[in-house]
Amino acid sequence: MGLFSWLSRNRRSPVLEAVSALLPEPPSPRLAAAIETLAREVTDKRLGRRLASLRPHLILIFARQAEDAGRKLSDSYWTSDRGHNVGQDVFAAYGAALRAVLTVLDRRPRSRTLLLDAVTAVEALMPALRIEPADPDGYGLATLHEIRRDLASLL
């Protein structure tokens, strides 16, 4: 293996470095993959000048949920005797919240309260999930609460 291929394979992206700096220990491979995936969606351009400094925080909020969903989906402990894995609920709620926040970020003209609007968009997803029979154990709703809490902490 040449030096260039070794360096390119073992070099961490600037986004992964920035998000990793927020963590007490290096990210797991699953979390690192989620960070890299989210970095393609949560871009500086999408965030604009006002929120660009929060990019690592925003990516970490969603990457943690993606990692949690993946961990639960890959572990039979989280599967009920009915065959339902709560990781599906976490993943669905994570995806809905991410879409809601990206919709807010893409709004033009930009709101002065973009982050508050993102929190409100996630909150708006909660009532329907409270009565959703597809989230019988409440893990999807809990995921939305965690995302809302973490977004609100950035205000």
- What pLDDT, in 10s, does the model give residues 64-112? 999 999 999 999 999 988 888 999 999 999 999 999 999 999 986 667 7
Q: How far apart are CA 8 and CA 66, in angstroms?
A: 25
Question: At what angle are helices 86-106 and 55-73 packed, to 10 degrees?
Answer: 160
Of 141, 49, 136, which Cα lies nearest the Cα of 96? 141
User: Who has greater pLDDT, 84 or 35?
Assistant: 35
Strand, coil or helix: what is 51? helix
What confidence category does residue 129 fall into, taking pLDDT thresholds of 50, 70 and 90? confident
